[in-house]
A and B are shown apart, each in its own frame.
Chain A
């Protein structure tokens, strides 16, 4: 919204230059976003908040300046010649709630010409096109005092009557923009004896507008219900300077002064005779209730005591009346242009902003409560720290995926968006996997071949009418392990392609801090995983993770030119386990004894089974039983593998004897044979 600071000087003697004025008005809540031009042609581009329609004009801004600098504000006092005779125009309000006040003024014998230079130049500075003296007068008054007004060609009003009523269904009105509009009973119109002549508060009619032939003019200044104007503006797609102000609340008491001001401007430039008194029809009074202000409350909210002298000075300059009550209680009269002020807190804001927000000291409030972490905070932090340490970068993707992706990567029902941005983003994600694959593809397409990412976020599942949110983490990895290694620097140092077991190691590292009784794996992974290179991890029998290489048939259409690996962590199940608490165990005082076992097994025998069969022997001195090396090949035979395993025995009380160890080793060998194992050495 454009404001000319030199125009403000009509009403207040500005004590500072325009640059400083712009800054200080902004700091008082009437923001100047930009300044252009120089001297008399300086223009402020202002951003007035929607609750301050009273400041969307020069007089309102001048009033702010007068309050800011404690200077008198000159009133707008139209000087009119004596009126002749009586006006025969009648005005009837049929909808008092929608139009509580309508003021009219008649002028006869006007010359419609161009506006005088001082009017036209002011309008031009605000980028408003001068049209004719009568129309420009209404524009001028809108930008001067903020009151929207309208002028009719009186001779084109049938029956010399104006009726403010609802439109009848199907009535037509051609508005000033030339558009023929079909009206409904929801529309409020200003009508003459026969037809609508204006969309009330929004736009005047085409057929009754001022032309160069106009001789007699009827000025309108009214108050229209904000909600009604807003609905009409929306329904007809017509947003005008007038509707903008009526929607936010016009000044009930300004209809007569503004009608007179328009009359003054028209008479001054086009001549003519004022006919009769102003016709002011009040169907319903709109009075703003006074508000009680207590200085103690001002202090309680703001934190600083404001002196009564300053309070009364600010309120007086803003146009508020103040009457003393008892003990620092005051009754404040609200001026008719401030529909945004209804409560004590609204007045406190006025005081704070004109005192100057930055004059209040910066303090910190005292506190004697506790700080509570979110219940999962530590677990989230532990996983995030581990992932970063493992070399995964955290990433964030969009919460929406396509229906196809939802179907492919989850069996859960997806929540559909009512107003999606695109087909690719039409449901709430039921899995973090599709966007992880997209991010991996994004990197591969830009020449980054070694990528490790993780995303921690929620997935959403539809459950009848409701939605369930579940916390998940997804890992994505592709490329080489140790990609930066320089070959030949150390014996054996070499980058090699990522494999399933690298990912499995990372998943185990992530699960390790969580307390569990039993960690097992199975191979029953979803269809989007490579069947031979994927697994599920179970803690105490519940699946807490699923991971592996993505099936080539899934990877190919996504143009993933390398093997990609993905891991999904189901935190709703994992977090049922607490983080392990460290607990001291006395260090062993007696030596340990190791025994190795080299066996050949069928591929169908998994190590879990082998480990189970050994630990279920119940040898309490058996501290660990771990795999050390695996061989496959022609020597071993197809469908089989040779495995070297190491057992460690140790007692807390004494050194172990050879015969005991040999007996246990025998028991273990027997158990392994019973699984179909063939001992080698």
Chain B
């Protein structure tokens, strides 16, 4: 099975420029008899290119989530300085001169998870990933305050019409 689940999530965080009690995430899950770590990388690389353009590169490095093993964080090459780290002769602020921006987390589904749904972990494998939608919009469009997404100000909304 494969599923993409976009949805509204709620957290006990007061509203300020970088936090909101509601926001949106997109979670993905693929489980089959043949899913590999290479497939996880390829799928997300494809998705990031669709979102940011075909010249964007992805980089995966080890992380930790309780429900995936191996786990990874995914970075994209900085879309503001083309991954160079420098822009107009100065260090790129958006990626702190590293040339990379962290965007989402992912991993192979931890075999323990299959126990909850009576799948045999020896027969199946799968991957999962999750990303914050506002975070990506903020990055892609340069929005400087997350509260703008939830105020209904037409001067903001019409910029995206």
Contacts and interface: CB of A to CB of B under 8 A. Distances in A.
What band does the interface of chain A fall in when counting residues whose beta carbon is under 8 Å from B?
35 or more
Contact of A442 (B15, B111, B149, B153): B153
Nearest to A420: B12
A519 interface: no
A28 interface: yes
A303 interface: yes
B64 interface: yes
Given A365-B32, A443-B152, A398 B42 contact: no
B49 to A, nearest CB: 10
A264 interface: no
Contacts of B70: 348-349, 352-353, 357
Interface stretch (B54-62, B76-84, B87-95): B54-62
Given A51-B64, A421-B21, A439-B153, 20 more contacts: A49-B63, A52-B64, A304-B38, A345-B69, A345-B110, A352-B37, A353-B62, A357-B62, A360-B37, A362-B42, A363-B39, A363-B41, A365-B35, A395-B152, A395-B157, A398-B22, A399-B10, A448-B153, A448-B154, A455-B152
Given A369-B2, A398-B21, A439-B152, A362 B34 contact: no
Interface string A411-446: 000000001010001000000000010011011001
A451 B154 contact: yes
A276 interface: no
Contacts of A393: 152, 154, 157-158, 161
Nearest to B74: A357
Interface in B19-73: 21-22, 30, 32, 34-39, 41-43, 45-46, 58-64, 69-72
Interface string A291-307: 00000000011111000
A362 B41 contact: yes
Given A29-B62, A49-B63, A446 B153 contact: yes
Contacts of A448: 153-155
A594 interface: no
Interface in A441-467: 442-443, 446, 448, 451, 453, 455, 457
B101 interface: no
A300 B71 CA distance: 16
B111 A343 contact: yes
Nearest to A368: B32
A28 B38 contact: no
B62 A349 contact: yes
Nearest to A364: B42
A366 interface: yes
A547 interface: no
B14 interface: yes
26 contacts: A27-B59, A50-B64, A300-B36, A303-B38, A349-B70, A352-B70, A353-B62, A353-B70, A357-B41, A360-B41, A361-B38, A361-B42, A362-B42, A362-B45, A362-B46, A364-B39, A365-B32, A369-B2, A393-B161, A398-B15, A398-B21, A421-B12, A421-B15, A439-B153, A440-B152, A443-B154
A26 B61 contact: yes
Given A353-B70, A365-B43, A367-B2, A301 B108 contact: yes
A143 to B, nearest CB: 22
A454 B89 CA distance: 44
Interface in A360-401: 360-367, 369, 393-400
Interface string B139-153: 000000000011111
B36 A357 contact: no
Contacts of B43: 364-365
Nearest to A439: B152
Interface in B120-161: 125, 149-155, 157-158, 161
Nearest to B1: A369
Contacts of A29: 61-63
A456 B106 CA distance: 29
Contacts of A443: 152-154
What band does the interface of chain B fall in when counting residues whose beta carbon is under 8 Å from A?
35 or more
Which residue of A28, A303, A393, A443 has the most chain B CB atoms within 10 A of its CB atom? A303
Interface string A44-59: 0000011110000000
B64 to A, nearest CB: 4
A364 B1 CA distance: 15
Contacts of B72: 357
A302 B37 contact: yes
A459 to B, nearest CB: 13
Contacts of B59: 27, 358
Contact of B36 (A363, A394, A436, A440): A363
A219 to B, nearest CB: 33
B61 A396 contact: no
Given A51-B64, A349-B70, A443-B152, A363 B42 contact: yes
Contacts of B61: 26-29, 31, 353, 357-358
A365 B42 CA distance: 8
Contact of A425 (B21, B64, B151): B21
Interface of B: 1-2, 8, 10, 12, 14-15, 21-22, 30, 32, 34-39, 41-43, 45-46, 58-64, 69-72, 108, 110-111, 125, 149-155, 157-158, 161
A300 B39 contact: no
Contacts of A397: 150, 152
Nearest to A360: B38
Nearest to A395: B152
A346 interface: yes
A361 B8 CA distance: 33
Contact of A399 (B22, B152, B154, B157): B22
> Lowest 9 CB-CB distances: which A-B pairs, in order?
A303-B36, A29-B62, A439-B152, A303-B38, A395-B152, A49-B64, A362-B42, A349-B70, A365-B39
A239 to B, nearest CB: 20
Contacts of B12: 419, 421
A366 B70 CA distance: 21
Nearest to A47: B63
A304 B38 CA distance: 8
Interface in A278-322: 300-304
B101 to A, nearest CB: 14
A451 B157 CA distance: 11
A26 B116 CA distance: 33
Contact of A302 (B22, B38, B152, B158): B38
Nearest to A299: B36
Contacts of A300: 36, 125
Interface in A320-355: 343, 345-346, 348-349, 352-353
A366 B71 CA distance: 22
Which residue of B42, B58, B111 has the most chain A CB atoms within 10 A of its CB atom? B42
Contacts of B149: 396
B20 to A, nearest CB: 8
Contact of B60 (A31, A346, A358, A367): A358
Contacts of B10: 399
A676 to B, nearest CB: 47
Contacts of B60: 357-358
